[in-house]
């Protein structure tokens, strides 16, 4: 069995790197040796990898030296290929552009292959990359199978990559087709703008139930209108020609699975088909891919329960979830390499969660990130990560320890252990087990994200630097922040005294998961008899009150219903009839008096 090709990924987009890493590593033919998001970091990684291979100590020396004054070429680092983004440094003028970085890498390590990926397939870009020494050139949106073959060709230099020959250009459309296409494009632009406005209005904050229902209805109507426009104003000949020319060659894989395409921009979702062959991947890949797909949707909290992550901006919230997902993947890989036995997972789970929390906190804020507590005033700068890690006991007690079924989840992902679902054990590859595993992983992600933000609210809740970099606009003022913290405090008190004992008594766990509308809570069944026996004090009183209500309420309702039916009988049968008789007598008397008066007038 050949060793996997070791890659160095250089891209500013963490979403693209994460998706590329997940898909390439699951094939078993590639391994990600290192990742970098800047030119300086890339050169440091190459120097460090070379130092590890030769026994030297590498020191970063900043930007690359021009070729005219640089020293002799060095030996290659322990990496087989550098995958470089052509658009590196476009948003930062101080950073070395992607082409210059490619030139520096090829001059320093002439025999190290470099594959340049670009968002577009312009011939001038391909020629520029080849002029700078790139060994191959590709598109960021290539299907994963084609990209894997392109990586092998860049390393070996001999394997041809089959590329679909360009089909002849379709004939120019007639005026009617152009008119329909123009109308469709204009209508779709207006509909997409209205959809974006509706989604933005729903994500601005918590709205009333009525407004939420109206916005949801408007969103459905806009989607239906978009579908109708695409059908009524479609141009079949032009659409089929464009599809035929742009479609990639069919992948040589079994018919029960299909290859996704990598996103060409941060906003693009990495999608997979729902039916994936279990022979080509494992349970962990399936569950992580399902959660990763759900992270592409709305991440707003649409429940009435406040969460620590509510204070984050949408982009920072998404970035935090990506970091947690990646750290969990690394932690599972370390457990697999350590050959931890399934029976040891219960004891190792708290340590694993703590390590993941510390790693995510460090990566999210930066190990050396410092802030001053008083803005515009000279004073000592506090190391943020060091201060946040001091809250480990609080985070562990309030958030990490209450996360349910984590040993079972890890055993399911690592060893394909059966997973309990509604009191029954299901084989690891069944849809029920995979769905429950995804639900538990989503809840774990959300609680770890809350654990990252909880120390921030406790220690740096009103620090301007933190607010500017992380907080949402609707929670920027001191009053809003304090109200948000008070809501969280009351929520934890109410959960500890009422909600958690009630959930234990009802044999349920409350989980948070990702839906189309955002984060929503729901309950799953699980036996909790041992926890029920350990309740005491107010928590035990809550369960006794619920039990008393369950015992008394049906009988009390029956008694009230019986008394009510008796009252109704008395009022309708006795009192009502009596009132009816009295009224009838009154009406009869009025009629008699009227007749007597008429008779007297007739006699006169």
Beta bridge partners of 524: 509
Please classify residue 493 by burial: count the beta carbons closer than 10 Å to its beta carbon, then call 0-12 exposed, 13-18 middle and 19+ buried. exposed
DSSP code per residue over 440-472:
HHHHHHHHHHHHHHHHHHHHSTT-HHHHHHHB-
The whole-number average pLDDT for the span 156-173 is 52
Q: Which of 88-92, 272-276, 455-459, 484-488 is least confident?
A: 272-276
The whole-number average pLDDT for the span 147-168 is 65
The whole-number average pLDDT for the span 11-24 is 79
The whole-number average pLDDT for the span 325-332 is 91
Residue 252 has pLDDT above 50, yes or no: no
**Strands 508-515 and 518-525, bridge-based pairing:** antiparallel
Confidence band, pLDDT 50/70/90 cuts, at residue 56: very low
Residue 234 has pLDDT above 60, yes or no: yes
Residue 251 has pLDDT above 50, yes or no: no
Q: Which of 127-131, 491-495, 531-535, 578-582 is least confident?
A: 578-582
Most confident region among 13-17, 75-79, 228-232, 292-296 by mean pLDDT: 292-296
Residue 201 in contact with residue 214, Cβ under 8 Å?
Answer: no
Specify the pLDDT at position 92.
65
Which two structure tokens, joined as six digits, stand for 506? 């009802």
Most confident region among 191-205, 221-235, 495-509, 558-572 by mean pLDDT: 495-509
Specify the pLDDT at position 132.
83
Please classify residue 535 by burial: count the beta carbons closer than 10 Å to its beta carbon, then call 0-12 exposed, 13-18 middle and 19+ buried. middle
SS3 string of 272-296? CCCCCCCCCCCHHHHHHHHHHHHCC
Confidence band, pLDDT 50/70/90 cuts, at residue 261: very low
Residue 63 in contact with residue 101, Cβ under 8 Å?
Answer: no
What is the spatial distance between Cα 148 and Cα 262, in angstroms, rounded to a whole number?
12
The whole-number average pLDDT for the span 418-438 is 88
The whole-number average pLDDT for the span 545-555 is 87
Residue 599 has pLDDT above 60, yes or no: no
Specify the pLDDT at position 88.
79
The angle at the Cα of 327, spanning 321 to 333, to the nearest 5 degrees, equals: 140
What is the spatial distance between Cα 379 and Cα 370, in angstroms, rounded to a whole number?
12
Whole-prediction pTM: 0.55
Residue 277 has pLDDT above 60, yes or no: no
Specify the pLDDT at position 436.
92
Contacts of 387 (CB under 8 A, 6+ apart): 455, 459, 460
Contacts of 176 (CB under 8 A, 6+ apart): none
The whole-number average pLDDT for the span 164-175 is 53
Q: How many residues does the chain have?
A: 604
What is the spatial distance between Cα 573 and Cα 180, in angstroms, rounded to a whole number?
74
What average pLDDT is seen over the chain?
A: 78
Residue 451 has pLDDT above 80, yes or no: yes
The whole-number average pLDDT for the span 53-63 is 43
Specify the pLDDT at position 136.
87
Which two structure tokens, joined as six digits, stand for 44? 């440091």
Residue 153 has pLDDT above 80, yes or no: yes
Q: Provide the angle, in degrees to the nearest 10, between the axes of the packed helices 39-54 and 98-108.
A: 20
Nearest to 3 by CA among 23, 24, 30: 30
Specify the pLDDT at position 505.
92
User: The tokens 């004073």 sit on which residue?
Assistant: 379
The whole-number average pLDDT for the span 198-203 is 69
Confidence band, pLDDT 50/70/90 cuts, at residue 519: very high
Specify the pLDDT at position 404.
93
Residue 548 has pLDDT above 50, yes or no: yes
Q: Which of 36-45, 110-119, 367-376, 515-524 is least confident?
A: 367-376
Residue 380 in contact with residue 347, Cβ under 8 Å?
Answer: no
Contacts of 398 (CB under 8 A, 6+ apart): 454, 492
pLDDT in tens, 437-446: 999 999 999 9
The whole-number average pLDDT for the span 148-171 is 63
What is the spatial distance between Cα 219 and Cα 204, in angstroms, rounded to a whole number?
16
3 state SS of 518: strand
Nearest to 174 by CA among 229, 235, 246: 235
3 state SS of 550: helix
What is the spatial distance between Cα 106 and Cα 154, in angstroms, rounded to a whole number?
14
Higher per-residue confidence, 341 vs 207: 341
Residue 190 has pLDDT above 90, yes or no: no
Confidence band, pLDDT 50/70/90 cuts, at residue 62: very low
Residue 191: other Cβ atoms inside 10 A: 20
- DSSP E strands in 549-591: the ranges are none
What is the spatial distance between Cα 463 and Cα 365, in angstroms, rounded to a whole number?
14
Residue 462 has pLDDT above 70, yes or no: yes
DSSP code at position 397? I
Specify the pLDDT at position 264.
38
User: CA torsion sign, 478 to 484 to 486 to 492?
Assistant: negative
Residue 456 in contact with residue 470, Cβ under 8 Å?
Answer: yes
Specify the pLDDT at position 549.
87
Alpha carbons within 13 angstroms on the beta-carbon side of residue 194 total 18
Contacts of 173 (CB under 8 A, 6+ apart): 181, 235, 237, 238
Contacts of 211 (CB under 8 A, 6+ apart): none
259: left (phi over 0), alpha (psi -120 to 50) or beta: beta
Specify the pLDDT at position 559.
87
């Amino acid at each position: 069995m050949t060793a996997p090709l070791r890659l160095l990924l250089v891209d500013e987009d963490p979403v693209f790197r994460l998706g590329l890493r997940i898909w390439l590593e699951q094939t078993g033919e590639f391994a990600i040796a290192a990742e970098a998001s800047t030119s300086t970091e890339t050169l440091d990684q190459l120097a460090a990898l070379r130092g590890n291979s030769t026994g030297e100590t590498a020191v970063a020396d900043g930007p690359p030296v021009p070729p005219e004054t640089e020293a002799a070429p060095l030996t290659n680092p322990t990496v087989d290929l550098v995958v470089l983004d052509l658009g590196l440094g476009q948003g930062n003028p101080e950073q070395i552009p992607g082409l210059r970085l490619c030139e520096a890498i090829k001059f320093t390590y002439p025999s190290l292959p470099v594959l340049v990926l670009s968002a577009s397939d312009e011939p001038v870009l391909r020629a520029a990359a080849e002029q700078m020494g790139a060994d191959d050139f590709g598109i960021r949106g290539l299907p994963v199978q084609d990209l894997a073959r392109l990586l092998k060709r860049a390393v070996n230099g001999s394997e041809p990559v089959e590329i679909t020959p360009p089909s002849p250009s379709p004939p120019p459309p007639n005026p009617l087709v152009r008119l329909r296409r123009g109308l469709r494009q204009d209508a779709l632009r207006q509909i997409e703008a209205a959809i974006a406005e509706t989604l933005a209005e729903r994500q601005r904050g918590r709205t009333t139930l009525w407004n939420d229902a109206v916005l949801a209805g408007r969103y459905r109507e806009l989607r239906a209108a978009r579908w109708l426009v695409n059908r009524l104003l479609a141009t079949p000949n032009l659409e089929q020609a464009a599809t035929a020319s742009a479609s990639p060659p069919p992948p040589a894989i079994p018919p029960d699975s299909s290859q996704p395409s990598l996103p060409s921009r941060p906003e693009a979702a990495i999608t997979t088909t729902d039916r994936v062959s279990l022979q080509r991947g494992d349970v962990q890949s399936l569950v992580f891919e399902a959660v990763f797909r759900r992270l592409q949707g709305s991440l707003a909290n649409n429940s009435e329960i406040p969460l620590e992550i509510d204070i984050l901006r949408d982009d920072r919230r998404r970035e935090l979830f990506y970091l947690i997902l990646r750290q969990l993947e690394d932690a599972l890989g370390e457990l697999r390499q350590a050959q931890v036995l399934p029976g040891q997972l219960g004891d190792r789970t708290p340590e694993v969660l703590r390590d993941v929390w510390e790693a995510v906190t460090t990566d999210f804020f930066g190990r050396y990130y410092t802030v001053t507590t008083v803005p515009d005033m000279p004073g000592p700068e506090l190391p943020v990560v060091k201060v946040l890690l001091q809250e480990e006991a609080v985070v562990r007690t309030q958030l990490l320890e209450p996360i349910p079924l984590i040993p079972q989840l890890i055993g399911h992902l690592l060893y394909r252990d059966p997973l309990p679902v509604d009191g029954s054990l299901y084989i690891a590859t069944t849809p029920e087990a995979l769905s429950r595993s995804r639900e538990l992983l989503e809840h774990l992600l959300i609680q770890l994200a809350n654990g990252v933000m909880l120390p921030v609210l406790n220690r740096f809740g009103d620090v301007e630097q933190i607010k500017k970099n992380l907080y949402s606009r609707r929670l920027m003022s001191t009053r809003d922040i304090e109200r948000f913290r008070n809501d969280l405090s009351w929520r934890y008190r109410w959960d500890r005294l009422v909600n958690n004992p009630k959930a234990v008594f009802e044999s349920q766990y409350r989980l948070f998961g990702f839906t189309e509308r955002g984060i929503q809570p729901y309950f799953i069944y699980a036996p909790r008899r041992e926890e029920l026996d350990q309740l005491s004090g107010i928590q035990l009183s809550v369960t006794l009150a619920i039990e008393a209500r369950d015992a008394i309420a049906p009988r009390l309702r029956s008694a009230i219903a019986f008394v009510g039916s008796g009252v109704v009988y008395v009022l309708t049968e006795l009192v009502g009839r009596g009132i009816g008789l009295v009224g009838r007598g009154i009406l009869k008397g009025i009629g008699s008096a009227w007749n007597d008066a008429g008779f007297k007038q007739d006699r006169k």
